[in-house]
Each structure stands twice: as structure tokens, then as C-alpha cells.
Amino acid sequence: MKSRIKTAGKGGSARQKQAETGEQETSSGLRRGVAVDLLIERLDDEGIGIAHSQGRQILVAGALPQDRCLARISHLGKTVVFADLVKLIDPSPLRLQRCPCSDAALCLGCPLIAMRYGEQLRWKQDLVQAAFNQYPSLKHIVVPRLLTPERRLGYRTTAKLAVAGTHADPYIGIYRRASHDVVDLEDCPLHHPMINTVIRVVREGIRKLKVPVYQEKNKSGILRYLVVRVSESSNEVMVTFVTARRAFNEIHHLARFLQEKVPQVAVVCQNVNSSEGNVIFGAHDHFLTRQQTIQERIGQVELLVSPRSFLQAQNDGARLLYETARDWAGLDGSQQVLDLYCGIGGIALTLAPVARQVLGVELNKEAVADAKRNARLNNARNCRFEAGDVLELLDDLLEDELRFSCIVLNPPRKGCDREVLDKVAEFAPERIVYVSCSPQTLARDLDILATKGFHCEKVQPVEMFPQTPHVENVALLLRKELKTT
């Protein structure tokens, strides 16, 4: 069955929609609904095709450089024009003869999936290089080819999925790019096969048990999101149903139905999120199974994972990331290490066998609880973890006059706050290992650290999400004397 889209938008004429979204018609002839013949010049940082027509830049999702295509204008704003790919007139030589996903143009979740894999790697390498080239302090860096995992498909072990439609016709999938429309996923080629199985069975269960699906418009219904994590090492599955209210009976019956059909489901959790907005998880978890975690192995580290734990969604890529961080930390068993934004302890526990002491710091209390359990699981007696605001804990550590030979930074996509970088520099570590999921914020922060006496020696991009524009990086900084002018 082909994937479908559940439209969340309101009805109305095109002109009404233009008024609602701030769209404008122009004297150039571009207007919503008109198909334009375009030549795609390049991709933007999110993997979206860029073309120009009648003096305007047009973004076309699903298009590749050197595609000549017909695209229909879907949004016309003051600063940006979006268009939907209608058909390829002259396909790019960068395209595969056969795309591994028949619904790629509809879903748009993996904008590079139709591109030859070698070209994907070159594009990501250039993306990182371009981010570094914006800063004079980083122009000496030559970005190498990406470290790549073995699998390019079927690698994703975590999926966070929206639920839409009705109990009679449920949609389970992802939000289509730049919209609140849900693409119903049938057999995503990036998902671990067990995730696709769970989606299929949950969809069947919603229909059979008449589980009310949450309706954003009038705030009725129950089921909002489905979150699935697969452990490849233990062959166990953890499923979280995110609901608008407790609603025990409906979810209890759905959980039993799922476990009967998929015995690998070892953990079922109901997370209650009654808030509005796009945040998936609420604050309260209710377990419908006695088991509350699954165990995964990344490299030599065993990790217990709970429903709201963050763990990279690609085990092979995570191993490459952790091992690069370990190798670049330059540890010989005598050093103290500070791991900031440590999550559930994956990097800290990878460093532990070659460090004297590792201290992990993380804001999320649940993640720190997981990290402490993981330290016990791995018998890492030289690892300890503290929960709290990173900046406040750095102040406390400075007051206690603690010193660290190496500091690991692994912040969220927005990067580090300037104040955090200031405090890190005060410790004057010999090395900083910076792990990042955003080339742009990584380059920005490395440039700031350069002004504080830390020279970026090298960077290594890591392929975590094949077929997508995302690329992880590990950077090594060494302390140097501040330059004087």
C-alpha cells in the first residue's frame, strides 16, 4: 500500500490560504499553484534543492543538483518560495537509477535518498568544510571523508511518530516537511524492520480496539504519538504510547494486543502529555510492563535505555563517534575527564577504561539516573554523574578548584552557550573533544574557543544518518598560548 498524507490544515480558497500564511502574488508571474520549469543548482543545508526563476530563489524538496524538473509553487512569501516536485524532465546524473523508497517524494523525510551514496558523502563533507571556511580561525582545517557505518538502510533503531486520523482510519508516521500533515508510513526503508512491524500492528490494534486518536483541532481523543526503540544486541523492543490523558483501559488493551502479536516488545510505557505544541513527551511515565528498560550495546559499553533516554538512533554510527572521541582524548589512565551534556553516559563509559576518573554532567535527571545505572552495569567505578544546570555545576567545580586534563562537550543542536565556553576555558584543559550534530554551531563554538587559547587540530565527520542531510562531527582542540597583537 502506498503511503498517505493526513492533512491537518483547514479548508478554504487558495487566496484565503495565502492570506493566512502571508503568501503574495507577484507581478513576475509566480503564484501559488503554477508549475514552473526549473534547473536545480545546488542543495541548501537541509538538503532542499535550490533553483531560480523570474528573479526569485525557489526551494524544491526532493530535487537534486542538475535536475531539470517541473515544480508547482506551494508557498510564495516575501523572502522564500517553496515548490513541490511534479516530475523530472531531465534527471540529474547524481540520481540513482532506482530510488530505494517509492514514497520519497511524498514523505520528504530523507531528501538525499535518491542521490548516489558517494555523492551524499561528498555533499556532507563539503557542508562541514563550508561551515568551517566561514571563520578565519578554522580555515586551516581540511575536512576528511566521513567515517561510514556498514548499513545505509534499515539502520534506524528509534522512531518518534505522530498519530493522526481516526480509530477507523489511523495514520502513523512523520510530519511532512514544513507542515502539520502526517505521512502514514507503511514500510520505511530507513527503519529497523522491527519498527515497521510495530507500526503495522499498532495501526491494526487502533482499528480493532477503537482507540480514540487525538484530534488537535478540538483537543479530543487520546493517542498522540508512538515512540519505538529497538535493541539490536538484546533483540528487545520498547514502545511508548504518548497520550493526552491517563486513559488506562484503552492503552492497556492496545499494549496487550501489541505484545501478543510482537513478543519481542519487552517494555510498554504510557507517557502522558496534555500540553499543546510540538514537544512529544510529557513529564509522567506509567509502565504497563514489569520491565522498564531495554539493554543495548554500543562498542564495548552496555547501556540500559529508558523511554525518555537519548541515545543515537544508529548503533554503528554511535560506535564510530564514541571511539573517535576516546582516541582523540589522548588518555593513558592518569587523567581526570569532564563530560558535559553526558546523557545516559555512552561517551563517559567509553572513556572510563583509559581514564583515572570521569565526571559526567547532564541537566536531565532521568538521563543521569540511567547513567548511574549504566556505570554499575559496566563496573565503571571511576565514573560518577551529576544532574543539574551545566553552567552552575561548572561554577561549583571551579570553586572547588578541580582540574581536568580533558573536557568533552556534546551539546544539543544549538551548541554551547557562550557562558559555558567561558567557564570551560577557565579550567585550561590540555584537550577539548567537541562532539556535535550541527556543523554550523560547531564551527561557531570552535571559533569562540580559538579566542580563548584553544586551537582546533582536526575534525572528523561521522555518518550517523545515511540518506538524510544530517552529519555528526568530532573536533579536537589543544590548549595554546593566547596570541597577542
Residue 118 backbone phi and psi in degrees, to 5: -60, -35
Q: Which residue from 460, 481, 462, 480 is spatially nearest to 470, judged by alpha carbons?
A: 462
| CATH fold group of domain 4-95 | OB fold (Dihydrolipoamide Acetyltransferase, E2P) (2.40.50)
Separation of alpha carbons 14 and 241, rounded Å = 36
Mean pLDDT, contiguous 10-residue spans, the chain (485 residues): 61 37 54 94 96 94 96 89 94 95 86 96 98 97 96 96 96 84 91 97 97 92 97 96 93 97 98 90 94 96 93 93 97 96 96 97 93 97 96 93 95 95 96 97 98 97 96 96 43
Question: Residues near 324 by Cβ (< 8 Å), separated by ≥ 6?
Answer: 147, 460, 462, 474
pLDDT score, position 106: 82
pLDDT score, position 232: 95
Q: What residues are designated binding site?
A: 312, 341, 362, 410
Dihedral Cα 86, 89, 92, 93, nearest 10 deg = 140
Contact 364, 309 (CB under 8 A): no
Chosen CATH of 121-150+325-479 out of 3.30.70.330, 3.30.565.10, 3.40.50.150, 3.40.50.720: 3.40.50.150
Q: For residue 461, what are the β-bridge partners?
A: 473
Separation of alpha carbons 344 and 310, rounded Å = 7
Same fold, 121-150+325-479 and 158-298: no
Is there a catalytic annotation at residue 437? yes
pLDDT score, position 234: 94
Cα-Cα-Cα-Cα dihedral sign, residues 330, 335, 341, 342: positive
Distance of CA 443 to the CA centre of its chain: 19
Which residue of the set 101, 342, 383, 437 is catalytic? Answer: 437
Separation of alpha carbons 399 and 393, rounded Å = 10
pLDDT score, position 28: 54
Burial (CB < 10 A; 0-12, 13-18, 19+), residue 160, is middle
Domain boundary assignment for the chain:
4-95, 121-150+325-479, 158-298
| CATH fold group of domain 158-298 | OB fold (Dihydrolipoamide Acetyltransferase, E2P) (2.40.50)
The grid cell for 386 is: 551529576
Q: What residues are designated binding site for S-adenosyl-L-methionine?
A: 312, 341, 362, 410
